[in-house]
Structure 1
């Protein structure tokens, strides 16, 4: 009996860890809300989900400290309001020394994003600051000996494309070429990726009569064939990514990787936000995770697995704009899932010391397995105090 129990435990753990560990997805951890759990509790949640890549929109010291000695790699952000200051080498170096250097011995910071969707706005002065700020931040990292450890980039909206169909004819807006050419040269020189925020939801919302819902949700559909390359596309996200690759190639670069810094689907929206439902959000993100688990590449880049950060970890109740902006989260702030896409995690009800972290996470995995084994051999149902063990000190979902 003991041998059989050990074998069953091994099989259960091996299966669960293979499935969860293969999830190569990143998550956007936005904090425009007044009801989110503390960063230390979020660290437990992401640890139990085995998500090891997190993108922030700032360099929140509370978050970076909470994830100390974890296996999580961070993207930290410099907001658009910092761009002009970051063109000054002294200020750029001071920012890194204050917001990055104190944490890197214990927390893995791998990237700094300088600005967000700057080129899709109307502020030409801000656009003119973007590349110099990126160059100066990179120079400051070099001065501190960190440029091999941390790369510098910026995130763009797909709105910078002047043409996106067919994907092989992708091209940037002509009036942005003067800014984008320099940025592409920077990426090529520093071996850093070109980031895009890609949302098929927006395209479907704006034209639901012409765009098939199945095409944007990764469901079975006829798809489309690029008439120039004869490549078949069965979803819009991959077409958007390849459009960006084509636009980059049209400007003379073929060695820059495109990564998706944001994509997601809202679970709720205003009456005019067609398609913003929990079921569509579940299908989009669930099907996307399945594609990521398969290490898929796009039709034009089949050997390069798509690299994606899902937006977002939590619903953020203070975000301005339409209702959808506050409803992109995979989880509610209390740690319950907005919809089920097969991820199981653990959010403790209170903060714990770092020394307790591994014990809590271990038992968050072990207890359900132990109960399943006991039920398997006894057929017993759990009630009262035995069942309470599942949620002692936290929520299971």
Structure 2
């Protein structure tokens, strides 16, 4: 009897472990970038459980992955989906733009909440002149498709920019766009103004610190207490670089005659690991940066220039992505490892199922295990 009970306990533990959860860490009100350049990530259905347990209700994709969008059906999670740079030229064709929207967006509405389409990523920072010249026409064409489908009030159209599009970023009140980009910025800013869509920037204070650690104060880029820097024109004090970058973008837009466009952070983060020459890429710094970001989001803080407009941030990224090219830091921006364990503790709490509870494999495994338990128990009774 004792031997059987030990067997029963071991097998029952196996059943429990097959559907167990990995405890992680929690916060609310933050958006997350869900990149998938990896070969070891959990399935979208498991990710949906993780994000819901973390109370993360906004997700940004770099494509319009159908498996992800289906997995989040009826989840109340809002999605930004993307048109890859390689597809931007095709989106200038109304027929192709309509086909893309009907294939990648329309089938998922309203079950999955898609609120924005980003057309390309950091296009204006590249040197592909054809791609750059196609950007705004592609955005306009996709917007026209949304209008024709009656979706323009539900789904907006934008694109995400690297801060290298700025000619000046400090002091923030002197922010301007690069002169050679003005022919593209003017119609782009007009488009945002007319469609009431956000201006998205990918802002990484980490890059500034890595490039010049002896001159850029670590406390200033990590949101730790410091004296800050004063804008001599506005006399506003900035205690962190991210807010200065946001306000520099606002100033550049204002210099073009617009104050009616909201700037949002489509990416920001800090790597937990880097190559030997990547100064500051540590779990400690990454944890400090992201936990301070989460705290300020929860406090609904605005920047010195826009104190009444809470910062809107999508943290980069959900997982470490092992197939990303470039320096080691590129593969180590994740808040979580692919197994659902946190890379560092920033005080969030959630769980990632080890196996999908609805999967056929899981059901088969459970049936087999319990079948074996019943047979074992029956054998024990017959022998008793």
Give the 3-state SS of the residue equivalent to 2:106 in structure 1.
coil
1:112 matched residue in structure 2: 117
User: Is 1:213 aligned to residue 208 of structure 2?
Assistant: no
2:90 matched residue in structure 1: 85
1:302 matched residue in structure 2: 307
Give the 3-state SS of the residue equivalent to 1:175 in structure 2.
helix
> TM-score, normalized by length of structure 2?
0.86
Q: Tell me how far apart the structure 1 counterparts of residues 347 and 76 of structure 2 sit (CA, whole Å).
A: 22
> TM-score, normalized by length of structure 1?
0.83
Q: Tell me how far apart the structure 2 counterparts of residues 181 and 281 of structure 1 sit (CA, whole Å).
A: 36
Give the 3-state SS of the residue equivalent to 1:155 in structure 2.
strand
Question: What aligned pairs does 1:216-235 form with structure 2 within 5 A after superposition?
Answer: 216-235=221-240
Q: Tell me how far apart the structure 1 counterparts of residues 78 and 329 of structure 2 sit (CA, whole Å).
A: 28
Deviation track 1:148-201 (CA, whole Å, cap 9, x = no partner) reads 110000000001000001000000100001101110000000000000000000
User: Is 1:53 aligned to residue 58 of structure 2?
Assistant: yes
User: Is 1:274 aligned to residue 279 of structure 2?
Assistant: yes
Structure 1: state its 5+ residue gaps: 1-19, 355-397
1:36 matched residue in structure 2: 41
1:75 matched residue in structure 2: 80
Q: Tell me how far apart the structure 1 counterparts of residues 249 and 357 of structure 2 sit (CA, whole Å).
A: 44
Give the 3-state SS of the residue equivalent to 2:116 in structure 1.
strand
The runs of 4+ residues in structure 1 deviating greater than 3 Å are none
Corresponding residue to 2:161 among 149, 156, 162: 156
2:99 matched residue in structure 1: 94
Give the 3-state SS of the residue equivalent to 1:114 in structure 2.
strand
Question: What aligned pairs does 1:138-217 form with structure 2 within 5 A after superposition?
Answer: 138-217=143-222
| TM superposition shift of 1:105 | 2.4
Question: What aligned pairs does 1:122-137 form with structure 2 within 5 A after superposition?
Answer: 122-137=127-142
Contact 2:29 2:55 in 1 (8 A): no
Contact 2:168 2:177 in 1 (8 A): yes
Question: What aligned pairs does 1:282-321 form with structure 2 within 5 A after superposition?
Answer: 282-321=287-326
Give RMSD over aligned pairs.
1.1
- Count residues in correspondence: 335
1:353 matched residue in structure 2: 358
Deviation track 1:346-381 (CA, whole Å, cap 9, x = no partner) reads 000111239xxxxxxxxxxxxxxxxxxxxxxxxxxx
Deviation track 1:175-233 (CA, whole Å, cap 9, x = no partner) reads 00110111000000000000000000000000001000000000001110000000000
| TM superposition shift of 1:125 | 1.1
1:391 matched residue in structure 2: none
Q: Tell me how far apart the structure 2 counterparts of residues 124 and 322 of structure 1 sit (CA, whole Å).
A: 26
Deviation track 1:87-143 (CA, whole Å, cap 9, x = no partner) reads 000000000101110011210000000000000011111100000000000001111
| TM superposition shift of 1:24 | 1.6
Contact 2:271 2:332 in 1 (8 A): yes
1:372 matched residue in structure 2: none
Higher relative contact order (CA 8 A, sep 6+): 2
| TM superposition shift of 1:338 | 0.1
Q: Tell me how far apart the structure 1 counterparts of residues 191 and 110 of structure 2 sit (CA, whole Å).
A: 27
1:327 matched residue in structure 2: 332
Structure 2: state its 5+ residue gaps: 1-25, 360-384
Corresponding residue to 1:264 among 247, 264, 269: 269
Contact 2:225 2:239 in 1 (8 A): yes
2:7 matched residue in structure 1: none
Question: What aligned pairs does 1:370-381 form with structure 2 within 5 A after superposition?
Answer: none
Give the 3-state SS of the residue equivalent to 1:330 in structure 2.
coil
